[in-house]
Amino acid sequence: MTDTVNAPNQRQPSWLRLTLRRSQQEAVASSAMTATNDNFLNAFAVYLQASAAQMGWLTAIPQFFAAVWQLVSAWMGNHMSRKRLVIGVATLQAVIMLAMAVLALWRGFGGLASWQIPALITLAVGYFSCLNIIQPHWRAWMGALVPGRRRGLFFARRTRLTMISSLLVFILGGTLLSGSDATGLAWLGFALLFGVAAVGRFWSAQLMRSMHDPSNMPIASDAELWATLRQVGVALKEPTFRQYSFYVASMQGMVAISAPFFAVYMLRDLQFSYLQFSLNNIASVATQFLLLSSWGRFSDRFGNRATMIICSCLIPVLPLLWLVSPNFYYLLLVQVLSGLAWSGYTLSTGNYLYDIRPHQTNFAFYAAIQAAVSALAVFGGALLGGYVASQAPTLWNWLMPDWGWGSALFIVFLTSSLLRIAVAAYYLPRLHEPTLRKRPQVLQVIFRVARISAISGVVLDWMSVTRKNDDK
């Protein structure tokens, strides 16, 4: 970081003002892509008539590659400048979104084909791989650029822009798909939606091209890939960090059993319109965003472990609530409760990691390890969910032959719920409240809301804005 950026009394140079403004604009552009993929990828797979097993693969396989790229990304930064790396990979991501639009057009003009779901899974692998290559370098870039005294305000504003843009994409995308589906042209709606996402990412890459990077050179390091992987092994030998990582990963894995199938249940079994589907997701997403600060204050007062216990008791109940009624408005309330639980869970587990990591170590490195372990658990959970879903119709017909309403996917929801209970019951007694460190307030800790899932919670990029001597 340059002295010009750090000096609190100097007027910001023009290149810094321009770069910060471009970063805010980039938040809006990139959210067009992330909101589209997070909200409508599973819906597109349902439209392409993906089987239960294929829905599981669509979640599992990209997560496996995401885990690998999460660790390889830092090594890549040793061999090329982070700005060039981020822009190049972002451009590739835009091409992938454009390919999804072409896939939708092919569905309209060429009909269904057996290769379309494997093609979608391949594109999803590319999309999430790009996301995980970019993430650590973008975090480092912005962390070195934004003046420390302004980070809390800057990233809070950026998060609000991202959320507002994402919610607009949810609403407009759902309206577009509902209108096109009503005329028998759902494929055109998906093509336009993915096309807009591609344009947004291309625009995002161009905005980043005009941004300044104070360290636009490869990181001088002799570290090799295997050295990075050895550091992962050393970190996981620490008992507290290992218990925490396996707890968070196990819970995410159990969530992944059912996560891909809520879209199937709403669109196929309940025959929700795409607008209803989007509004259902918005209920959870908006609740998560609105309650992050409230949960932060609660955690500061009662501790992160207390917050984790409360939310970990709520999360296993959520799939069971979907079994009570198919009413659209009832399920909106279920999603509000889901947002309540996931916002507190994500924030408390993030703060917990901040407190338990060893002193004088890189928080981002430990966060990357935890994210990679969770991605591997999601890989296994989604595969298991696909298998259970493929066997569920037979089991459902045997257990509930005369039940007037319901879905074979209830077997998947019940399995996920029971395994979530088992994970919470095993790990929570083993997690102890760590000694609190001096850390920033909630909005200063949150670097940005990277992605939000209506079913499995907020995905945050974390960045500490404390000074180095705060950990001493």
Nearest residue to 389 via CA among 274, 273, 256, 198:
256
Residues 6 or more apart whose CB falls under 8 angstroms from that of 352 comprise 244, 304, 305, 308, 431, 434
pLDDT for the residue 215: 67
CA-to-CA distance for 290 and 340, rounded, in angstroms? Answer: 9
CB burial of residue 8 (10 Å; 0-12, 13-18, 19+): exposed
pLDDT for the residue 21: 84
CB burial of residue 367 (10 Å; 0-12, 13-18, 19+): buried
Nearest residue to 289 via CA among 229, 376, 347, 215:
347
Over the range 425-436, which residues count as b (16 or more CB within 10 Å of their CB) and which as e? eebeeebeebee
- Residue that wins the pLDDT comparison between 422 and 236: 422
**Residue 390: CA count within 13 A, CB half-sphere:** 14
pLDDT for the residue 40: 92
Q: Is the model's pLDDT at 102 over the cut of 60?
A: yes
- Which has the minimum average pLDDT: 61-65, 175-179, 431-435? 431-435
- Residue that wins the pLDDT comparison between 138 and 434: 138
- Residue that wins the pLDDT comparison between 271 and 160: 271
CB burial of residue 259 (10 Å; 0-12, 13-18, 19+): buried
Token pair for residue 215?
């360290």
Domain boundaries, the chain: 15-211+235-465
pLDDT for the residue 11: 55
Q: What is the largest CA-CA distance in the chain?
A: 75
CA-to-CA distance for 99 and 420, rounded, in angstroms? Answer: 36
CA-to-CA distance for 254 and 417, rounded, in angstroms? Answer: 8
| Contact (CB, 8 A) for 67 and 288 | no
Classify the phi-psi angles of 332: left when phi > 0, otherwise alpha if psi is within -120 to 50, otherwise beta. alpha
CB burial of residue 365 (10 Å; 0-12, 13-18, 19+): middle
| Contact (CB, 8 A) for 128 and 96 | no
307-328 per-position pLDDT tens digit? 889 999 999 999 999 999 999 9
What is the enclosing helix (H) or strand (E) of 318?
A: helix 318-321
What is the enclosing helix (H) or strand (E) of 452?
A: strand 446-453
Cβ neighbour number for residue 470 with a 10 Å cutoff: 12
Q: Is the model's pLDDT at 336 over the cut of 80?
A: yes
Model confidence, pTM: 0.82
Q: Is the model's pLDDT at 108 over the cut of 70?
A: yes
In DSSP notation, 171-212 reads HHHHHHHHHHHHTT-HHHHHHHHHHHHHHHHHHHHHHHHTS-
Q: Percent of the chain, pLDDT > 90?
A: 38
| Contact (CB, 8 A) for 320 and 417 | yes
- From 1.10.260.40, 1.20.1250.20, 1.10.3720.10, 2.40.30.200, which CATH number describes the 15-211+235-465 domain? 1.20.1250.20
Residues 6 or more apart whose CB falls under 8 angstroms from that of 363 comprise 353, 354, 357, 462, 463, 464
Q: Is the model's pLDDT at 109 over the cut of 60?
A: yes
Nearest residue to 374 via CA among 252, 462, 461, 237:
252
Q: Is the model's pLDDT at 349 over the cut of 60?
A: yes
- What dihedral angle (degrees, nearest 10) is formed by the CA atoms of 74, 75, 80, 86? -30
415-459 per-position pLDDT tens digit? 999 999 999 999 988 887 665 545 444 444 443 444 545 445 445
- Residue that wins the pLDDT comparison between 417 and 213: 417
Q: Percent of the chain, pLDDT > 70?
A: 77
pLDDT for the residue 22: 84
